[in-house]
Amino acid sequence: MTFRSHRTARSVARTIAVAGLLTGVAIAAPAPATSKTSFDGIWSVLIVTEKGVCDRGYRYAIRITNGVVGYAGEASFHVSGRVGPNGAVTVRVSRGQQLANGSGRLSATTGAGVWTGGACAGSWSAERRS
């Protein structure tokens, strides 16, 4: 494998891991939120790979607005998901045809869950930043 293809593979694995983490944030998508929720704000999410050849861990800033989950930075991947009134969260991260899903639960200041994507899987944890 060349350096460039190895680098691309790591980038893809990283995207899948992020997707998995975001998916780990929620299992089922609740009805669209139309107003501010108690989970709105910036969250720091740590994604840990426990199965597969994806990089071991990542930390990302996630923004929740009106119960809708999205990435708080600039990246070449797409993050989507929802947080229900009880804190149940589902997330999908994609880049091209690669995809990861996550589910879990948020409290007022923290959260945790699981993710899967391709041949990789793991867990995630979150802390509220604002």
> Domains of the chain (ranges plus CATH)?
3-128 (2.40.128.120)
pLDDT along the chain (130 residues), means of 10: 44 51 42 71 95 90 95 87 97 89 97 96 96
CB hemisphere CA count around 130 (13 angstroms): 8
Neighbouring CB atoms inside 10 A of 93's CB total: 32
SS (H, E, C) the chain: CCHHHHHHHHHHHHHHHHHHHHHHCCCCCCCCCCCCCCCCEEEEEEEEEEECCCCCEEEEEEEEECCEEEECCCCCCEEEEEECCCCEEEEEEEECCEEEEEEEEECCCEEEEEEEECCEEEEEEEEECC
Taken as a whole, the chain contains a residue count of 130
